[in-house]
Amino acid sequence: MNKFLAASAVCALSVATAVPAFADANQESDGNYASSSNAGRMFFGVEAGKTTVSSSLKVDDKTWSDGEETANQYGVRMGAYLSDYVRMYVNVNQLKNDEDYKDDELTSRDVTLSADYLFETGLPIRPFIGITAGGNYLEYDDDSQWAAVYGGQAGFLVQVGNFDIDAGYRYLKSDQEVGKHAAKVTVDDTQTPYVSVSYKF
C-alpha cells in the first residue's frame, strides 16, 4: 500500500510540475489565453466503469482455464489542460471482484498518467483520443505484484460550465502472473468502458 501511495504522489507531482511551465509558454506565445480558454486550468474528478479482465488460471504450471471476468472499477483523476486541445491527468483506479475470482479474490489498482487530444467541433461535445502508461498493483491468493501497464483510450467529452463529463473506453495491456500457491493467475489486458465527471478550477 505504501508503494501504491508513493506512485500516486509521483504521478500527481509530475502533472503539477509540468502544467505551470506549459501554460506560461502558451501565454507568452499568444499574449493571452483567448485562443485557449481551458489552458492552465486544473481539474479533479471521479470515474466509474465496468472492467473486463482477460486472464488465465494455471495450476502446477499447466493452464487450467482462460477467459474473461468482469468487475466494477472506480477511482479518481486529477490533471490540467495544457492547451484547449491537450490535457494531462493522473488516474488512480481500483477494481475488486464482488465474487470469488477463479476461487479466490482478485484486487487490482492502477496508477497511470494519461494524455488526451481533444478535437474541435464547435460544439460542447468533443471527441478525444489518448495514451496511458503507468503501474498496476495486482493482489491474488495472498500474493501481490507491481507491473507496467500501457494502452490508450477514446471517447467523447461534454463540457457543461465548469464540469467535464467523459464517456470513454480504455484498453490497458499488461503481463502479470500472481499467486503464491499451486494456482496462479496471469492477466493479459483489461478493457473498461467508463464515465467520469470532473470539475475545472
Question: Do residues 171 and 194 make contact, with C-beta atoms less than 8 angstroms apart?
Answer: no
Find all residues with CB under 8 Å of 30, minimum gap 6, and list them. 36
Distance from C-alpha of 37 to C-alpha of 35, rounded to nearest angstrom = 6
* Sequence-distant (≥ 6) Cβ neighbours of residue 34 within 8 angstroms: none
pTM: predicted TM-score of the whole model, two decimal places: 0.77
Q: Is 197 helix (H, G, I), strand (E, B) or coil?
A: strand
List domains and CATH numbers for the chain: 2-200 (2.40.160.20)
pLDDT at 26 over 90: no
Q: 66-94: per-residue pLDDT in tens?
A: 778 888 999 999 999 999 999 999 999 99
